[in-house]
Amino acid sequence: MKSIRKSRNRFIVLSLAIPVILLLMFVVYPSVDLVAMSFTSWDGISPHRDFVGVGNYVDMFTKSPDLWLSLRNNFIYLAVHMVMIPIELSIAVMLNTKFKGTGLVKTIAFLPFIINGVGMSYAFSYFFSPVNGAFNDILTSLGLSSWIQSWLSDPKVVNFVLASVSAWRFSGYHIVLFSTGLTSIPTEVMEAARIDGANAWQQLWRIQLPSIWLVFSFVMFDCIRGTLQCFDIPFIMTNGGPGYASSTFTLYTIDTAFKYNSFGMAATMAVAIMVIVILVYLFQNVVLKKVFRQ
């Protein structure tokens, strides 16, 4: 009996040892190093890292207005993604009903997510191009040429264009996630609700949404994390311009590190975005829990 327990314990320890070591090496150590770096003025090359205390944190709040402008742009992405969630959910609910071509619609919706982000961003650069751009051609052919804007260069418009591209890319992924969650709800429960006279809205609000609460929470987290750390779409489509008008927090952080050789300050910004993501996630969790409990 003892030997079985010993073997079991050894197996557990060995099974856990490798992931724990990997976690310590590739997650914990870099994170600790990142936090430590955020208190230095390291230029990314010098062998010495001069300790500057909380100087970077103070400068980040007091001397980096463009950083906060960039963060504001991130929240535009977040807002657009949040607006898309009810639409994605509605499509997933529709796809969950029995009609032909569900699989095809899901595949088409999922396609943008598996397309390479860099290639897709380049394609959209040309799509929104002011010269020979397909989007302007479409508007013109529909008789809506007065709607034509400087899609990628007008600071008032550009972030919404980029956020829409981001939403286009990730909506299919969210639809598939919602759809998978909805499929997992036992059919007996839904049938019982229908027999009891529950209408579509009541079924959604009282049964489907609470049942997929974990999926919903994950999608929300994915949106928050993804939009606050958004990089590839603005980097390729506008390079954060004009000026910093379409820059994002991550784009600005990377510029700080590589263009201006301020790895210490960039580490501070990375810590800040980590904290912001955690805070927004916690807030979202509290709100979601309250809503679903009701």
Partner 1 sequence: MKKVFATVLSVCMAAALFAGCGASTSSSTAASSAASGSAVAEGELDPNIKATLTFATWDNEAIDFYEELDLEGRFQELYPNVDLEIEEFKDDVEYFNQMKIRASANELPDLMYLQTRYFSVYGDYMLDLSDTQAAANNVLAADCEYNGKVIGIPEKISSDYVYYWSDLFEEAGVEVPQTWDEFVTVCETLQNYYGADDPSFMAIGMGAKDSWPMYPLMEYSPASFSGNGTYWDYMATVDEPFAEGEPIREAYTKVYELLSKGVLGSDPLGLGYDQTLSLFLNKQAGMMIDNSMGLAKIKASGVDLTDLKSFYVPYTGEDGTINHIAQGDFFMGVTTNSENPELAKAFLEFYFNDFYPDYVQKLSSDSTMTTAEKAKDPYMAYADEAQTNVNIVAYMGGADDYTAIVNECKFDYNKVGTEMLTEGFDLEAAFDKLNADWSAAREKLGME
Tokens, residue 196: 């009891």
- 128 vs 178 by CB, closer to partner 1: 128
Query: Does the footprint of partner 1 cover residue 126 (CB under 8 A)?
Result: yes
Query: Does the footprint of partner 1 cover residue 116 (CB under 8 A)?
Result: no
User: Is cis: bond before 242, omega within 30 of 0?
Assistant: yes
Which of 14, 131, 142, 214 binds partner 1 (CB under 8 A)? It is 131
Query: Does the footprint of partner 1 cover residue 251 (CB under 8 A)?
Result: no
Query: Does the footprint of partner 1 cover residue 151 (CB under 8 A)?
Result: yes
3-class DSSP assignment, residue 46: coil
- 151 vs 170 by CB, closer to partner 1: 151
Which of 164, 180, 203, 261 binds partner 1 (CB under 8 A)? It is 261
Instruction: Quote the Cα angle for 29-33-36, to 5°.
Output: 145
Query: Does the footprint of partner 1 cover residue 284 (CB under 8 A)?
Result: no
Which of 34, 36, 43, 117 binds partner 1 (CB under 8 A)? It is 43
Tokens, residue 186: 């036992």
Of the candidates 244, 249, 238, the residue with the CA atom closest to the CA atom of residue 275: 249
Torsion of CA 172, 178, 184, 189, to 10 degrees: -140
Torsion of CA 166, 167, 172, 174, to 10 degrees: 110
Tokens, residue 79: 């807002």
- 52 vs 273 by CB, closer to partner 1: 52
Query: Does the footprint of partner 1 cover residue 150 (CB under 8 A)?
Result: yes
How many chain residues touch partner 1 (CB under 8 A)? Answer: 31
Residues with Cβ within 8 Å of residue 217, at least 6 apart in sequence:
284, 285, 288
| Residue found under tokens 């914990």 | 28
Question: Rounded to the nearest 10 degrees, what angle do helices 102-114 and 65-96 cross at?
Answer: 160
Q: How many CB atoms lie within 10 A of CB 102?
A: 14
3-class DSSP assignment, residue 21: helix
Query: Does the footprint of partner 1 cover residue 40 (CB under 8 A)?
Result: no
Which of 60, 78, 89, 152 binds partner 1 (CB under 8 A)? It is 152
Query: Does the footprint of partner 1 cover residue 155 (CB under 8 A)?
Result: yes
Query: Does the footprint of partner 1 cover residue 260 (CB under 8 A)?
Result: yes
Q: Per CB under 8 A, which region of 25-33, 126-134, 182-190, 273-281 contacts partner 1?
A: 126-134
Binding mask 174-193 for partner 1 (x = CB under 8 A): --------------------
Residues of the shown chain interacting with partner 1 in the complex, contacts defined by CB under 8 A: 43-45, 66, 125-126, 128-132, 150-155, 238-239, 241-245, 255-256, 258-262
